[in-house]
Amino acid sequence: MVPTYLIKPHLQRHYPTVQYAKGIYVYDTNGKKYVDGCSGAVTANLGHGVPEIIEAMKEQANKVSFVYRSQFTSEAAEKLAETLNERIGGETRYWTFLVNSGSEATETAMKIAIQYWQEKGKKGKNKILSRWLSYHGITLGALSMSGHTARRERFVPLLEDFPNVPPPYCYRCPYQLTWPSCQWRCADELEEAIIRIGAEHIAAFIAEPIIGAAGAALTPPEGYYEHIQAICRRHEILFIADEVMTGLGRTGKMMGLDHWQAKADIIALGKGLGAGYTPIAATLVSEHVIEPIRNGSGVVMSGHTLSANPLSAAVALAVLQYIDQHRLVQKAEEIGSDLFTKLCRLQQKFSWIGDIRGKGLMLGIEFTVPDTKTMMPNKWAFTDIVVTKAQENGLLVYPSAAGNGKDGAAIIIAPPLTIERAQLDELVSLLEEAFHHIEKHFP
């Protein structure tokens, strides 16, 4: 029975009720089967119902689920922090601050960056720069850093005016340049913004290595983040990588930023860390950032009641072990390149597929007015049409944004990293059927 008083994202829409889910499939209470082509919200990276994760959950729940982080630490949380450091850090040592959602992870990153400069006696450095076409979360601090017009517009009076820099949007380059002759013109805008605002006011620059919800897997060209990192270092600004969507194998590397030769000072993780089995996220802080805080006030001024609860930590630890044991990072790269090829074939059949992009199993499709490169007008609500038609046809895809963030339509295809090659055909043929249906009823 559908709970009548539950607030759902769209109050006037009917949502099917989920019955159970296994692997890449989700089943509703009417017995309808869906291929999870986007891991929910690019979250269920291992697929559904993995016995090893459920076992780890039971085992930890039998020991202890919750202790307050100001009173106890736990073996599960300590081991998770150690494992994250081993798997992500490389030569850099990272200190882990556990939270419960991606928004909390980016907002904590923002606060730690500001606190870092305060502890170093630079109290004026409290702005965060970010890019237009970005999404860092829904809480007010995280939304302040986000260049996602639709999600911001209602709350603009409450937000800090942070986003400043154009995204690396090669498909619609605002300077009408092409890479490599562009020489990363869009990255240079970061330097211009820093000079305009004054580095003495700026704590950090935050970026999603590959832009998700606001850019349908917008992928910067080679050399882009090396350029960004050099600018940040030159002006003494911390670099925060928001790896909430891209982290932990999704893009075919352990971290999204690993596709470039660049390192972040602070990393935000979420989604794939709990892989949908539990709410957990993390802010990873490099040694040189935590050091002045440890030697200064000695307190990180952030945290939530459920931060670092042992149950979620044990689940995340089991998720990391599963990723390694099943070579999911490599698998995302290999299977992702097959999926990319298949989506490019679809592009030949539909004159309104403008761009296919992304890396690993985080792929974006941007739609255009047929036979043109013109953005889909907002009034067509085209993203919504695609998502709804695909779901009716038994395929889940993730709505994204493209174009200028208002006009423009796009989706993300991001199945669980455990998807088998044979299942890719099933996914793509369901998508193609949905596209044929949409074409017949074109706005």
213 binds ligand PLP (CB under 6 A): yes
As given in the structure block, the two tokens for residue 257 are: 């930023």
> Considering the complex, what minimum distance in angstroms separates the CB of residue 364 from ligand PLP?
13
Closest CA to 342 of 222, 253, 435: 435
Cα distance between the two ends of the chain:
35
Site for ligand PLP in 229-248 (CB under 6 A): 242, 244-245
Q: Does 119 bind ligand PLP (CB under 6 A)?
A: no
Identify which of residues 249 and 430 has a Cβ nearer to ligand PLP in the complex.
249
For ligand PLP, the binding residue among 270, 276, 354, 405 (CB under 6 A) is 270
- The dihedrals phi and psi of 204, each to the nearest 5 degrees, come to -160, 165
CB of 217 to ligand PLP, least distance (A): 11
Give the footprint of ligand PLP on residues 121-150 (CB under 6 A): 135-138
User: Which residue, 206 or 335, is less far from ligand PLP as judged by CB?
Assistant: 206
Q: Which residues neighbour 261 within 8 Å (Cβ) at sequence distance 6 or greater?
A: 225, 226
| 191/366 with CB nearer ligand PLP | 366
Q: Which two tokens stand for residue 396?
A: 């889940």
Name which of 114 and 245 has its Cβ closer to ligand PLP.
245
208 scored as a contact of ligand PLP (CB under 6 A): yes
Helix axes 287-295, 102-119, angle to 10 degrees: 60
Binding mask of the shown chain, residues 78 to 117, with x at each position contacting ligand PLP by CB under 6 A: -----------------------xxx--x-----------
Cα 414 to Cα 8, 33, 93, 422: the distances in Å are 23, 18, 30, 16
Task: Give 173: exposed, middle or buried? Use CB within 10 Å, 0-12, 13-18, 19+.
Answer: middle
Give, as ranges, the residues between 327 and 386 that touch ligand PLP (CB under 6 A). Answer: none
29 vs 15: CA distance, rounded Å: 11
Contacts of 381 (CB under 8 A, 6+ apart): none
By beta carbon distance, the residue nearest ligand PLP is 102
List 141, 212, 252, 403, residue binding ligand PLP (CB under 6 A)? 212
Nearer to ligand PLP, 218 or 428 (CB): 218
Contact assessment for residue 210 and residue 358, using Cβ atoms and an 8 Å cutoff: yes
Nearest CB to ligand PLP, comparing residues 45 and 101: 101
Q: Does 269 bind ligand PLP (CB under 6 A)?
A: no
Q: Which residues are registered as beta bridge partners of 368?
A: 375
How far is CA 261 from each of CA 90, 182, 186, 212, 250, rounded to the nearest angstrom? 12, 19, 18, 21, 18
Q: Least separation, in Å, of the C-beta of 436 and ligand PLP?
A: 30
> At closest approach, how far in Å is the CB of 74 from ligand PLP?
22
CA distance 296 to 118: 10
Nearest distance from C-beta of residue 273 to ligand PLP, angstroms = 10
Binding site for ligand PLP (CB under 6 A): 41, 101-103, 106, 135-138, 208, 212-213, 242, 244-245, 270
